Amino acid sequence: MKNLPRFCTLFLLLATLTISSPAQKDSLLIGPGDLLHLQVYDTPEMEQHARVTDTGTVPFNFLGNVNVFHGRVQDGKMLLPGFEMAYPDCPSGESRAATAYVRPHELDIDRTAVNGSSLPARVLQINPNGSVAKVRLESQESNLELNVEINLDRYTELALKPGDLVHVAPRHFRVFIPEDYAI
């Protein structure tokens, strides 16, 4: 619990880094190939550089992978290619560009669609070693690769195999709207 303020600061810094980066003058979105310089206030041992992978994930040593979704917020929803999620923090009718960050353990896999709030995806690879099964998926809507971690009981229940068509839904996500953050 004592690390919560640091993680909140981390995500705010991550969002603001894109605005101050000279390579990002034309776009405020973090994308494949972008190099992120992460600094956590008053904690120099946590400073690091991470390059966004071709699949859109950001591998930070102390956080693990993060799935990155680019979309828009409008009328209380986060609108993403192929699906939408409730986002009551933006209730107005104004449409604004936004980025959602979802950790692999915050995504759930289902065999059936979940009321328009799930993304169809194909299973690419499964690694069921350890206490969780790590599943790599490809979105059928946007060709985005996703990393998902599910417990072994859920993995056994789903009986996943490479090539299976599934649906992915976030249980929790963080949204950043570029114009809301500045240095």
Inside any domain, residue 19? no
Classify each residue of 116-138 as buried b or exposed e, where b means 16 or more C-beta atoms within 10 Å of its C-beta: ebbbebebeebeeeeebbbbbbe
Inside any domain, residue 155? yes
Count of domains observed in the chain: 1
Q: What is the CATH number of the domain that holds 121?
A: 2.40.50.140
Inside any domain, residue 42? no
Inside any domain, residue 95? no
d(CA 131, CA 150) in angstroms, rounded, equals 9
Q: What is the pTM of this model?
A: 0.65
- pLDDT band for position 22 (cuts 50, 70, 90): very low
- Tell me: the pLDDT tens digits for 130-173? 889 999 999 887 778 999 999 999 999 999 999 999 999 998 88
- Tell me: the pLDDT tens digits for 67-92? 888 889 988 888 887 788 888 887 77
Inside any domain, residue 4? no
The token duo for 150 is 């599910």
